[in-house]
A = this chain, B = another copy of it.
Amino acid sequence: MELIYQDHGSLKTPGRETKMTELNFKKGGGLLPVIVQDYSSREVLMLAYINEEAWEQTIATGKAHFWSRSRKKLWLKGESSKHYQIIKEILLDCDEDTVIYLVEQQGGAACHKGYRSCFFRRLQAADFEIKDEPVFDPAEVYKK
């Protein structure tokens, strides 16, 4: 299958609007990160990795495939849960080493922990940090 990446929103000047582009699998040692984003809400659902086979399977089937780094095998997302990710659009970055899958997430959740998104945690400061040094010891001063 022959593929073309087209500049998104650029002026369509002849010889510029289409150019053949390849993913640079060498850069990631054969594995490139994929950001999976909900097609409607634009929420980031997960990040996973592709090798060339996973990329080709994704294009061929229209369902998100990855390379499982832990299981060291091709991974059709949803193969157990049947919660497939249906590809709506694919975006490529300037360095040709990262892609975005814009998907329809079947079953409503991407995370194996049951959340809609794998990014279900937000960073918060533990509490107020003390920025000053005490001038006196209250236990000493206010002893009763």
Mark A residues whose CB is within 8 Å of B. 1-10, 21, 33, 35, 37, 41-44, 46-47, 89-95, 98, 100, 111-113, 115, 118-126, 129
User: Taking CB as reference atom, which chain B residue is nearest A112?
Assistant: B94
Say whether B124 contacts A5, CB under 8 Å: yes
Closest to A45 in B: B93
Residue of B94, B98, B121, B129 touching A2 (CB-CB under 8 A): B129
- Number of copies of this protein chain within its complex: 2
Complex interface: chain B residues within 8 A of A10 (CB):
120
Does A123 contact B90, Cβ atoms closer than 8 Å?
yes
Decide: A3 and B115 in contact? CB cutoff 8 A.
Answer: no
Docked-complex contact A126 and B2, CB < 8 angstroms: yes
* A139, B120: Cα distance in complex, Å: 62
* Residue in B closest to A43 when the chains form the complex, CB atoms: B42
Select A92's contact among B1, B112, B119, beta carbons within 8 Å.
Answer: B119
Check if A123 sits within 8 Å of B44, measured CB to CB: no
| A46 and B126 contact, CB distance less than 8 A | no
**Would you give the shortest CB distance from A19 to chain B, in whole angstroms?**
9
Task: From the candidates B93, B98, B111, name the one contacting A94 in the complex (CB within 8 A).
Answer: B111
